[in-house]
Amino acid sequence: MFDKLVAKLAVPMVIASFIAVPWGINYYDSVYLPSEDTEAGKKVFTLYWSGAKGITQQRINGWNYWQSDFDRLENGELKVSKGDRVVFRLISSDVYHGFAMPAYGIGIDDTVYIKPGDVTRVEFTADEVGTFKFFCTITCGPKDIHDAMGADLTVVR
C-alpha cells in the first residue's frame, strides 16, 4: 500500500521540481539582483564578471552560464562625460574577483572584492578626460581569460 502511494506521488513531485526550481532561480534573480540600471543624475553600468567568460554587460545566470558565446566587454564601450557621477554595479557569476581602476585610486590600497551573487557598487566622479583602464586583480580562471579581464572607461568632454 505504502509503495503504491510513493509511486503515485513520485512522478508529480519530479515534475513539480522541474517547474519550481527554475521559477525559484528566476524569482531570486529578480528580487536580489535587481536589473534597474538607472539612478538620478548618475551613469550606471552593470558589469557581470566570470572567470570562464570574462567581463560582459550581458546578464550571466543559471540559464545561460554554460553558453559558449558571450559578448565580452570591448574597449570603448563604456563612455561618460567629464563631471558625470559613475556607478559600476559589479556582479560575479562564479568566484571572487577583485576590481581595480588605478587612475581613480580604486582598488589600490584596499582590494575591492566582487563576491559571487552579490552586487558590489563602485562610485566615483569622472573628473578627467581620457581613457582609463579597470581590471580584475584576483586570479579567477584560466590565464588567457583572466589576463583579458579588463576594459576601458572613456571620459569625454
Residues 113, 41 within the same domain: yes
pLDDT value, residue 12 = 86
Say which CATH number the domain at 73 has: 2.60.40.420
Phi-psi map region of 66: left, alpha, beta (phi>0 left; psi -120 to 50 alpha): alpha
Which residues of the chain have a pLDDT value below 70? Answer: 29-39, 61-70, 75-76
Task: Quote the mean pLDDT of the chain.
Answer: 84
pTM: 0.72
**CB contact at 8 A, 80 and 153:** yes
Domain boundaries, position 126: 35-156
Amino acid (one-letter) located at 86: V
Residues 43, 104 within the same domain: yes
